[in-house]
Amino acid sequence: MSERKSTAPLQDAPAQNVQGWERIGSLAGGVMMVGKGLRRGGVFGLVQVALGGVALARGITGHSSAKSFLEKSRQDMDSVRLRIARAGAQSNDLKADQSPKAEG
């Protein structure tokens, strides 16, 4: 008898975070940079080919790790701002509760 092994992917496919014109721009820019890098040659041409390849991969997959990182950082910052605002409101409420009441 032969055993059947399930082959699960090592990582889940990342969610697409690049759509529409941004994705088309990445594809077009990547093709252009790869072409210019190949014509240029040398170290700078190699760098240009590499950057064009990254742009092409971004356009083909529809995912950008850099954009994911920036979006996560922005969400974290918004969360911190919200916590600070809540803490300030709670502090104001405590001060209002502690202030001497006007006697009439």
Assigned domain for 75 exists: yes
- Tally of domains within the chain: 2
Position 37 in a domain: yes
Q: Are 16 and 71 in contact (CB under 8 A)?
A: no
User: Is the distance from CB of 27 to CB of 56 less than 8 angstroms?
Assistant: yes
**Degrees, nearest 5: CA angle 76-77-81:** 120
87 is written with which tokens? 């803490």
Rounded to two decimals, what is the model's pTM? 0.56
Same domain, 69 and 58: no
Question: Residue 5: its pLDDT value, please?
Answer: 53
The CA angle 21-22-28, to the nearest 5 degrees, is: 85
103 inside domain: no
Give the span between the Cα atoms of 67 and 78, in whole angstroms: 16
> What pLDDT score was predicted for residue 4?
53
Q: Is the sign of the CA dihedral 33, 36, 38, 44 positive or negative?
A: negative
Render each residue's pLDDT in the chain as its tens digit; 104 residues. Answer: 555 555 545 556 567 777 889 889 999 999 999 999 999 989 999 999 999 999 998 888 888 888 888 888 999 999 999 999 999 999 998 888 887 765 54
